[in-house]
A and B are shown apart, each in its own frame.
Chain A
Amino acid sequence: MVLAALMLMALSAPVGSVPRPSVATLPQVPQPAVEGEQQAVLILAGDDPTQLWLQDIVRGIQESIQAENPAVVVFQEFLDTPRFERGSYIEDVRSWLRLKYRDQEIELLVLVGQDVVDFLARGRGEPWAGVPMLYGEMGTLTIDISQTLPGISGVAFEDTLPSTVNLLKTILPGTNRVALVYGASPLERARISDWTERLRKIDPRLEVQDLGGLKMADILHQVAHLPEDAVILNLPVQVDAAGERFGPRRTCELIAEVASRPLFQLGMQEFGCGSIGGVLRNWEQFGRVLGQQAIKRLSGQSTPLLTVPVAQYTSLLFDARQLERWGIDERLLPPGSEVRFRSPSLWRDYRPQVIGALAVAALQALLIGGLLFERRRRRRAELESRQHLVTMSHLDRRAAMGQLATSLAHELNQPLNAILQNAGVLQMLLTTKSSALPLGEIRDIVSDIRKDDMRASEVIRRMRGLLQKRELQAQPIDVNELSEDTIALVRPDAMSRDIRIELESTEGLLPIRGDRVHLQQVLLNLLLNGMEAVASMPSDRRSLVVRTSQNNGTVTLAVKDAGVGISADRVTEIFEPFYTTKGEGMGMGLTIALSIVEAHDGRMSAENNADGGATVWFSVPAVPGAQS
């Protein structure tokens, strides 16, 4: 009783998940047979022994029997009717089996498929009449054997066809037609004979296109031209109408290659050959269930008809490549589905790493985006500040020019005066009654007038450049020339204030690249400040020295004064806006000058001289490789 309960427990467990070791741990079934004598089991199948599904079943039976009782001897016989049935073949086989097993007693016959049941029924159990028999078949038998094979017991595996139809309607909702592919041998035909009816029973609207009994070429032609609402159900062709035999997987591969519609199958043995998959019969499991039932029978228990539900011997398997090929959404697959043959997927195989990498990339993108945004803002701010610099520097130049206005007027008045005097001379010469005009002198006068006129224009040119409001431009500049020009601007003013300005220029300076007017303005500022610094000094200290020099690719322009210098706490302050020691002006001069120098990638600084006074200098990078 206890043992029976244990057996039931083992059986009632979900068959698909019964691990063999757990079976092995079960207590040994007592052997009712005589001690020393081995029990013998014969597995008999009607089909082709090379069919994978059949091999799976037989292996399942044998393994489960021997797992329970390794002492049991297992024999296998295959009628192989699809490939051999001709004339008296089947009866010859029966005779042969009788001969073969003449001296071998069989304790249990395990029959795989209705065809062998039928074979034995037709011979009233011969050559094993009276021997206990156990059969396994999909669904219940369609033949009556109560008279011919009394005492036979069976295992009915619930048909997977309804589940398959359900499935294909779910994942391919437009399906209205099933093309059935199977072989032309009598056994194959017999097995499939009622399928059209069965399919209609499952779904009356389903149309069945029977491709059974054709030559392979015709089958392939048909499956290549199926309508949009069709699917192919492949029950492998073992022998086609031309008598050609097809090994395991072959049909599947051939059909899958040309199929115009998705290919389905019922068994697991050919999974991966080109079908989508589905509710696949696990034939080995089928065999194992059968084997376990056989063990029961061997141990003398009664084994009434056992029905095995679909879930206990099938797997929901799908081929990712085919799902993709036919555009089937994985989300439509029933729960518990297993998708195999995925192309290597980073996401699936390295999800944490991928997430990490994506997160890093996203962060980087965010950072880059942020930086770009900042850069744009900075650009805009730079543009604005540059615009402000242009405006401010213009105002500053105007202020500086205002300071210089009187001396510039003087500078202009000199040539104008000379011109006027010369004109006066000419007038006098022309109004005298003297007959002989001093032509040589007149020529000199006219030449002088022209010269002075040019001189006046030059003054105006210098001024006008500084008075224009303009954007910063980049052009090569000779710093020595710039210094001369700027000193010329302030020279009259300096002279009127009795201030000497000396230019100590270094010959052969590299040119710098920048805006001439703005850099001139910087120097102008330094000169005006310097003049301010020395204005109240005694005569011998009322001097400025402008020095140009070059060092390490930068050109430096320094204005040294002999004033009182800058008090230590103000050396940095002088570049601040609104810092001023003068009564006039805004105190923006040096701030603007600093901005201009910085806009030229330059530096500007001030320091006190050892011998009194201060030096303010700025340096700007030279244009490399160019010679001034």
Chain B
Amino acid sequence: MSSQRSQSTEGPVVHVVEDDESSRTATARLLKTAGRAVRVYQSAAEFLEEMPAGPGCIVLDLRMPGPSGLDLQERLATAEAPMSVVFLTGHGDISKSVRAMKNGAVDFLTKPVDPEVLLEAVGRALDKDAENRAIHERRQILRARYERLTPREREVLAHVISGQLNKQAAFDLGTTEHTIKVHRHRVMEKLEAGSMADLVRMAADLGIAPIGDGDDTKG
């Protein structure tokens, strides 16, 4: 475990949560042989206790004593950047697989799983994780930039991204068109947006809702 733990700091780690010892050992063995860093957990509870961070994915047995795989997945989903999950199950329970997929599972594999299929699924999960992680990082940066905006600038941003003309925004905000232009410029500078389209995407990433009757999103 300690060696695995050290590996986890390096690159992505595959977390195998499986109550069945044989399957756990064999799966871990397979992943390691395929060059993956692996950590194993006997139960969902054990995983939650450790709550490992960092890049990686989870190979999760659906059916376990105590909290089930689905329970664990739901708990993880509340995190900022949940790890991708590859579900393994002894039988294909459709309702459960639907639930798992809705919660963002990458794959739902039925035991016995073809080793290649498992490796591919793990690969996809790690890619997804990397992607999620990148999105998350970018959102973090944007949020930091957004923090720098003054309240007035945030108001202007919300109006601008809705596609309002400067004149309309000035009217709404009770100021001049010129003042709006100055604010917009500052906003773009602070958020390091290169274009109006860039700004709109960033705002979307930040989850800022546009204000005003913006049928025309293009300003």
Contacts and interface: CB of A to CB of B under 8 A. Distances in A.
Interface of A: 406, 409-411, 413-425, 427-429, 441, 445, 448, 451-452, 455, 492, 495-496, 498, 500
Given A406-B91, A428-B33, A498-B68, A417 B63 contact: no
B116 to A, nearest CB: 7
A308 B65 CA distance: 126
Contacts, number: 88
B135 interface: no
> Which of A411, A413, A452, A492 lies at the interface centre, i.e. has the most chain B CB atoms within 10 A of its CB?
A413
A448 B22 CA distance: 7
A413 B90 contact: yes
B23 A414 contact: yes
A414 B91 contact: no
Contacts of A417: 23, 26, 88, 90, 111-113
A405 to B, nearest CB: 9
Chain A interface mostly helix, strand, loop or mixed?
A: helix
Nearest to B27: A421
A419 B22 CA distance: 8
B114 interface: yes
Most buried by A among B26, B88, B115, B116: B26
B150 interface: no
Contact of B23 (A418, A429, A498): A418
B90 A410 contact: yes
B63 A421 contact: no
A607 B154 CA distance: 70
B152 to A, nearest CB: 53
25 contacts: A411-B90, A413-B91, A414-B20, A414-B90, A416-B112, A418-B20, A418-B22, A420-B115, A421-B23, A421-B26, A421-B27, A421-B30, A421-B112, A421-B118, A422-B30, A423-B115, A424-B114, A424-B115, A425-B29, A428-B115, A452-B22, A455-B22, A496-B63, A498-B68, A500-B65
A187 B115 CA distance: 141
Interface in B103-123: 110-116, 118
Nearest to A423: B115
B64 A445 contact: no
Chain B, interface size category, equals 20 to 34
A27 B33 CA distance: 151
Contact of B63 (A410, A415, A427, A441): A410
A401 to B, nearest CB: 15
Nearest to B115: A424
Given A409-B91, A410-B91, A496-B63, A421 B68 contact: no
Interface string B56-74: 0000000111001000000
Contacts of A410: 63, 89-91, 111
A369 to B, nearest CB: 62
Contacts of A445: 29
A445 B30 CA distance: 11
Contact of B111 (A406, A416, A448, A496): A416
Nearest to A422: B26
A130 B39 CA distance: 165
Given A417-B112, A419-B112, A424-B118, 11 more contacts: A410-B90, A410-B91, A415-B22, A417-B26, A418-B27, A421-B26, A425-B29, A425-B30, A425-B33, A427-B115, A498-B65
B175 interface: no
